[in-house]
Structure 1
Amino acid sequence: MIIPDLDNTGPVAPYAPTSLGELDLFGDGFVRDPYPWLDTLRTQAPVHHDPGTGLWLVSRHRDVRQVLLDPAAFRPDNAQDAVTPLPVPVLRVLARAGVRIPPALANNGTDSHAGLRRLVNRFFHARRVAAAVPVIERVADDLLATARTRTATGDPCDLFTSYAQLLPCRVLLELLGIEGVDETRLIRWSDASLELFWGRPAPGRQLELAELVGEFHRWLTATVRGGGAAPDSFIGALARHRLPDGGPLPVETAVSACFFVFIAGQSTTGQLIATVLRGALADPGLWPRAAHPDTAKAWVEEVLRREPPVTTWRRTTARAVRLGGVELPAGARLLLMLMGSGSDPEVFPDPERMCPHRPNIRQHLAFGVGRHRCPGAALARTEATVALRMAARALPDVRLTADAPRTPMLGLLSFRAPLRVTVRRAA
């Protein structure tokens, strides 16, 4: 779901919720400014049942952390389920394409998860990411050359579509050894998957998205089954992987792992980069300093705390449990408000203030915690940091265009980011 431009020309006035009964997680007000709602949830109802989605919203840092650290009581089975029910025509489209997303990574609470996670970590651990910095810099420099040319003539340039989206996609394909797919097609497939499974699209839109998800799944399946992947590639590693019982990894599980890694590795990282760039450009004193590696790194971490691209994540209770003073039955579906936990004043003083170099900044939960902590955290941090410092160095005299307050926003259940970061050379 995309929240479109507003009709007015000024910034959106802050909204103070008077009743949680008015809360709409897909509504324009929440997507554009979720913080008043998140503050109200934390103070009035830290574990709140939302009738619109049927989910229990968990908003305090300590409660979110408790859930993530107890996978026996709070299972990840529903992490990738469609938020909006899929009607029969949509299910038929997906069935014809053979779309199945069995437990693999984010939605896997079985014994196979640990081995698959170790496999993924081999491609995204900190040393490998550090060695990949020259690759990230090369891709960033190539993309920024176009932006420099465009802004030098006085024309506007959208750093989301021309830079933030493309950089992590190109880097991911290179790091994983994936060939034979156009980057714009992969981005389109990934974005369609996010909207279908985490959005509230109308039935006609669901059909369009299902066709794209079907194309994505067919390509993934053909790539996994092709047998021609290099042994040191991600798909080559999946082909050699063995389950706890010694058996080979089923094709559909390998495809499910690719589905998650490809989306998380480029769509959500692109959303992070867009948010980082927009925030840095909006701060008059920050952009000139953002070319410094330490400043860029600190800013990225603070954005992850306050405005992470992955705003929520889901869990389901394995048994009746008490959480935040509320008795939850077995099978209760939870929505962990990761963005809200990063603004919890019990953990982060003055949470509304962007304060790079906070002493406890790494206590945020933007990447989760525990056995399901995001395996791509190091890569996402590094890509966003490199993207910011190189953009600030290459484009020192650009500013956000006047329509920045009306930028369309991606407003999905678990993903939020600006869909434009349009800049122009300052006069």
Structure 2
Amino acid sequence: MIIPAAATPVPAGLAAFAPGPASPGAPGPLGLLDVFGEEFVRTPHPWLDLLRASAPVHRDAGTGLWLVSRYNDVRRVLLEPDVFLPDNAQDAVSPLPVSALRVLARAGFQLPPALANNGTDSHPGLRRVIARFFGPRRVAAALPVIELIAGELLQAARVRLDTDGTCDLFTSFAQVLPCRVLMNLLGIEGIEPATLIRWSDAALELFWGRPTALRQKELAELVGEFHIWLSATVQSGTAAPTSLIGALARHRLPNGERLDPQTAVSACFFVFIAGQSTTGQLIATVLRRALIEPELWPRLPHEPDLAQRWTEEVLRREPPVTTWRRVTAQPVELGGVELPAGAPLLLALMGAGSDPEVFAEPERMCPYRPNVRRHLAFGVGSHRCPGASLARTEAAVALRLAACVLPQVGLAPGDTDPPMLGLLSFRAPLRVMVSAR
């Protein structure tokens, strides 16, 4: 049972995650849409096509969010951060019960505005720190490390294939590669990748899912552990000056003051989740879509840019980050609809990537389409994902090397309906089971 916010005081620093008032909404022509439902998670594109065609700015009765599905509208929102604020980007989708709030409070959990949810004048400087650390030059220098880790994981997968006849490339490869790469880039030691993956995935489910109250409390325990470890890591004073934590420690805010530890932790929290979970989801989708596409897999080792282009096409059509949130700062017209101040928006990044006004034959996977990189999977403008170069590189390397090391694999017979991650803003297959062809 969710206890109304008025019944129990909300611990300091957790106001964004507390239960709020329910949003009224009458079902319209899309009243049967359930953004958490099995039908939408498995086959979202018919719903997104319907939204774009008949209700491009549609108030969803189930969540109280205004769904924005046309490319030009989504792009406009992202490019006008003073009108469409990022303040709600990391708020909990499902109100947290007091039991979960208490768990988080005991862990000292709080997420001050840092990156995705920061609309203040501190954002540009913080983003520059992150963008420099994960920029194209640093990613290019890290390419040998990415290839080394990917090769090691794929060799282990090949051994498992030879022994067992099948192997899940999600749990053995796609999920692990970005975590190990991130640990290497950040200089993280003394903790198992599986622990970081579990913590990161728990945070996604807690804040972007629709779990039961009991499950929320369980997830809060894991997120609390994550926050305690991250806080200790950031505040230990042992980080190398060249590390991301070292750069954040040196960073000065617009008023000249040093960045406070809580905001540094908040920035790292976001970096860990984006650098691990969402990149792993991208790799899983890239692999699975490549394996079901006729004749694509054997071409990958021989066409130098095919893996990169396939990654871009997956980002357009099946991005792991399917939506993102904004809130209106003032009354505004969007897509022919008058929105009041404080209206929460859900930007359909996946829907924008299949807008036929921008992408010809959007249902077809065409890696050599001329505007293959025009999608909005990484956002656009001042809040564009600073880790885009790393995610792109890891996914392309993962795909190319998988096709080289495992040339004779295909999806395991009968594995046509894998479990899917179906959170508000994140979607990906949770299994890529392969066998020898």
Verify: 1:89 aligned to 2:96, yes or no: no
Alignment partner of 1:39 is 2:49: yes
Residues 387-398 of structure 1 aligned to structure 2 (within 5 Å): 387-398=398-409
Q: Distance in 2 between matches of 1:384 and 1:403?
A: 25
CA shift for structure 1 position 181? 2.1
1:414 to 377, 401, 425: 425
* Paired residue type of 2:326: R
Could you say which residue in structure 1 is the equivalent of 2:189? 179
Question: What is the aligned counterpart of 1:263 among 252, 266, 273?
Answer: 273
Distance in 2, matches of 1:123 and 1:184, equals: 24
Letter in 2 for 1:330: A
1:75 maps to: 85
Deviations 1:287-344 (A, max 9, x none): 1112233111110010000000000000000000000000000000000000000000
Which stretch shifts more, 154-163 or 306-315?
154-163
Structure 2 residue identity aligned to 1:196: L
**CA deviation after TM superposition for structure 1 residue 19, in Å:** 3.9
- Alignment TM-score, normalising by the size of structure 2: 0.93
Q: Which amino acid aligns with 1:156?
A: T
In structure 2, the residue matched to 1:198 is 208
- Provide Cα deviations, 1:52-108, integer angstroms capped at 9, x if missing partner: 001000000000000000000000000000000001111101101011011000000
In structure 2, what is the Cα distance between the partners aligned to 1:138 and 1:176?
A: 17
Q: Secondary structure at the match of 2:48?
A: helix
SS of equivalent to 1:406: coil
Report what 1:302 is aligned to: 313
Which residue among 38, 41, 47 is the counterpart of 1:28? 38
Percent identity of the aligned residues? Answer: 72
Matched, 1:332 2:316: no
Distance in structure 1 (CA, Å) of the matches to 2:291 and 2:372: 22
- Confirm or deny: 8 A CA contact 1:147 1:157 kept in the other structure: yes
Counterpart check, 1:117 vs 2:89 = no
1:161 has 2:175 as partner: no
CA distance in 1, matches of 2:96, 2:164: 46
2: CA distance, partners of 1:147 / 1:293? 23
Structure number with greater CO (CA < 8 Å, separation at least 6) is: 1
CA distance in 1, matches of 2:81, 2:140: 31
Alignment match of 2:329 (pick from 300, 318, 327): 318
Instruction: Tell me the CA shift for residue 137 of structure 1.
Output: 0.3
Aligned match of 2:149 = 139
Alignment partner, residue 7 of structure 2: none
1:275 lines up with 2:275 in the alignment:
no
Question: How far off is 1:154 after superposition?
Answer: 5.2
Matches of 2:330 and 2:293, distance apart in 1:
47
For 1:45 and 1:283, the matched residues in 2 are separated by 32
| Structure 2 partner of 1:224 | 234
CA RMSD in angstroms comes to 0.9
Q: Distance in 1 between matches of 2:377 and 2:433?
A: 26
Maintained 8 Å contact 1:123/1:175: no
Check 1:155–1:249 CA distance in 2 against 1; reply closer, same or farther (3 A cut).
Answer: same
Q: 1:123 deviation in Å?
A: 1.1
**Contact 1:105 1:116 (8 Å CA) reproduced:** yes
- Code of the residue aligned with 2:98 in structure 1: it is V
Q: Which residue does 1:207 correspond to in 2?
A: 217
Q: Secondary structure at the match of 2:355?
A: coil
Per the TM alignment, residue 403 of structure 1 is displaced from its structure 2 partner at its CA by: 2.8
Report the Cα distance in structure 1 between the residues aligned to 2:315 and 2:33, rounded to whole angstroms.
Answer: 24
Task: Number of aligned residue pairs: give it.
Answer: 409
Counterpart code for 1:133 = L
Q: Secondary structure at the match of 1:101?
A: coil
Is this contact kept in 2: 1:177–1:234, CA < 8 A?
no
**Shift, 1:191, TM fit:** 0.1
- Residues of 2 paired with 1:267 and 1:403: CA distance? 26
Query: 2: distance between equivalents of 1:200 and 1:64?
Result: 24
Q: State the 1:159 CA deviation.
A: 0.2
Contact 1:312 1:336 in 2 (8 A): yes
Distance 2:249 2:82 in 1: 29
* 1:355 counterpart (366, 370, 373): 366
Deviating above 3 A after TM superposition, structure 1's stretches of 4 or more consecutive aligned residues are: none
How many Å apart are 1:278 and its aligned residue? Answer: 0.2
Q: 2:138 & 2:108 partners in 1: Cα distance?
A: 34
DSSP-derived class of the 1:21 partner: coil
Alignment deviations for residues 140-198 of structure 1 (CA, whole Å, 9 cap, x no partner): 01101111112123521000000001100010111122222211000000000000000
Aligned to 2:19: none
